[in-house]
Amino acid sequence: MTVHPAGQSIRSTPEGLLWEPSERWVRGRKGDVTVVDSRHPVLVWEPGVPVPLYAFPREEVREDLLRPAERPPVGSHTGSHVFYDLAIGGVVVENAAWTFPADDLAGHIAFEWFRHWDSGLDHWYEEEEEIFIHPRDPHKRVDALPSGRHVQVEVGGLLVADTHRPVLLYETSLPTRYYIPREDVRLDLFEPTDHSTGCPYKGTARYWTWTGPGDVPRNIVWSYPDPLPPVAAVQGLLAFYNEAVDITVDGERRTRPVTPFTDGLKV
């Protein structure tokens, strides 16, 4: 196995994959069993997928727990070659791992994380920190900055938030999100739901949905009650999907962006 030094430019394969060696120590567990223990992982970006995944040298994977998949999926993962089921203690996790046919990634095995809840491992760690949802992208940055800007939010033409003390969250490849103190939001026009989402950069969010008139998507307001330390400034504040509401900043109406979340905002 050739160990590439970290920090080199991202490489591409004829199949359209992008990949980059990493020096992070990555471990994956199913229950109490360590399935992956790698000091030479490779980050892989598939075409059209905004988040990376890891592939690991075979010698750093418990291959004795893998067996050829009985029902391999069709069209799942870019140019995927061989799928494996994971068998531990009588429990079989179908299509938990696979290989890419790309020559650059020969000898590596990739694993599902949390995008498919029934096919991934239970716990992943980078060094000693547990990582949730998907691997963190080393080329992505998230900054939460307190601001004195004047931010107003309208839903269906009704002013529902008005503040001069927002926290602006800048996240690579996404529109700026405006986090607003609860006292500056007409939260009486919304009701909490049981919806939640997770983010490896920010934590777990809870949601509210619009109770007023008009065709407004559900769960357009969210908050992080216990955010991860790098974005602690947004704790308890409320944010709105720019894609579904009208936001004015310092008197300038912002255009509603089109993002990977747009199609998922259903009325």
pLDDT in tens, 102-129: 899 999 999 988 644 455 788 999 999 9
pLDDT in tens, 190-211: 999 999 998 999 999 999 999 9
- Given a cut of 50, the residues of the chain with pLDDT beneath it are 1-7, 115-117
Question: How many separate domains does the chain show?
Answer: 2
pLDDT of residue 9: 78
For residue 16, give its domain range. Answer: 11-131
The CATH number of the domain holding residue 63 is 2.170.150.40
pLDDT of residue 87: 95
In a domain, 208, yes or no: yes
Question: Do 104 and 159 fall into the same domain?
Answer: no
Question: Do 118 and 169 fall into the same domain?
Answer: no
Question: Do 157 and 106 fall into the same domain?
Answer: no
Question: Do 170 and 127 fall into the same domain?
Answer: no
pLDDT of residue 2: 38
In a domain, 136, yes or no: no
Question: Do 173 and 110 fall into the same domain?
Answer: no
Question: Do 149 and 127 fall into the same domain?
Answer: no
Dihedral (CA of 8, 46, 224, 163) sign: positive
Question: Do 150 and 248 fall into the same domain?
Answer: yes
pLDDT of residue 115: 47
Cα 51 to Cα 11: distance, rounded to the nearest angstrom: 16
pLDDT of residue 45: 93
Question: In the β-sheet with 42-45, what is the strand arrangement from edge to edge?
Answer: 11-12, 18-21, 42-45, 53-57, 108-111, 91-98, 83-88, 66-68
pLDDT of residue 86: 95
In a domain, 65, yes or no: yes
pLDDT of residue 6: 46
pTM over 0.75: yes
